[in-house]
């Protein structure tokens, strides 16, 4: 338990250089619940109260994840003119170790029954699966309904089936995250690209460190 506790402490305290304070939108220092919990965990750990320290760490981790997910939601694209979008949703994809992996997604619906889902997935086995598929396409050459290309220097794979009016666009970001855009009842693949280009790419890279 002590070893795991040390790992958690190092990981969480690396996220903040202070104990309980952050600069708010007003420019004034204010208490942040996540940082307060981290500070309590550190104090409890130094006192040898490991069980209580773990409880505070779990609380801090939960609050850090919630803030991270809110930040990721903001990089998802706004709905194009005439489209409507659902509220973003977040689901875990791997065990909750040092934050685990998550999927942040949003569904968009067009005026003619189009449906597009944009997702950002982190720390998921899906990333290796897509990289393997990209490698296969690179070795075998372009396959039917499949296009391999670079987007902002990242490997991307587009699959579109015009007869079925559906497609998918996958972009692996730095080997650590995956952007997935799935479309149904869409007339052309360029719609998927439109959503990709609508993302706050620089904001996403900043969140990934």
How far lies 90's CA from each of 30, 72, 96, 114, 173, in Å?
27, 10, 14, 22, 19
Residues 136 and 40 in one domain: no
Last-in-domain residue among 72, 90, 123: 72
Residues 17 and 104 in one domain: no
Residues 62 and 18 in one domain: yes
Q: Which residue range(s) make up the domain with 112?
A: 77-207
Q: What is the CATH number of the domain that holds 137?
A: 3.40.1000
Percent helix, strand and coil across the chain, each rounded to 5? Answer: 40, 30, 35
Per-residue tens of pLDDT for the chain, all 209 residues: 555 554 555 455 444 444 444 544 444 345 778 788 888 888 888 988 888 888 888 888 777 777 766 777 888 999 999 999 998 887 766 554 444 567 889 999 999 999 999 999 877 777 788 888 777 776 555 566 888 889 999 989 999 999 999 999 999 888 788 899 999 999 999 999 999 999 999 888 887 76
C-alpha to C-alpha distance for 181 and 167, rounded to whole angstroms: 8
Q: What is the pTM of this model?
A: 0.70
What are 32's two structure tokens? 């942040």
- φ, ψ of residue 65 in degrees (nearest 5): -60, -40
């Amino acid at each position: 338990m002590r070893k795991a506790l040390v790992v958690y402490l190092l990981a969480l305290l690396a996220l903040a250089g202070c104990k309980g304070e952050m600069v708010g939108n007003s420019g004034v220092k204010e208490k942040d619940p996540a940082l307060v919990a981290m500070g309590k965990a550190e104090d409890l750990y130094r006192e040898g109260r490991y069980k209580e320290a773990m409880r505070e760490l779990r609380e801090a981790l939960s609050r850090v994840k919630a803030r991270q997910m809110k930040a990721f939601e903001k990089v998802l694209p706004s709905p194009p003119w005439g489209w409507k979008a659902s509220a973003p949703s977040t689901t875990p994809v791997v065990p909750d170790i040092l934050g685990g992996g998550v999927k942040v997604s949003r569904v968009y619906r067009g005026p003619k029954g189009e449906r597009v889902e944009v997702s950002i997935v982190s720390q998921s086995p899906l990333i290796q699966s897509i990289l393997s598929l990209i490698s296969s396409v690179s070795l075998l050459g372009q396959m039917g309904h499949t296009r391999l290309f670079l987007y902002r220097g990242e490997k991307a794979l587009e699959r579109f089936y015009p007869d079925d009016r559906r497609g998918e666009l996958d972009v692996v970001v730095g080997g650590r995250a995956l952007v997935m855009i799935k479309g149904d009842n869409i007339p052309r693949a360029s719609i998927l690209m439109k959503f990709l280009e609508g993302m706050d790419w620089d904001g996403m890279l900043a969140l990934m460190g």
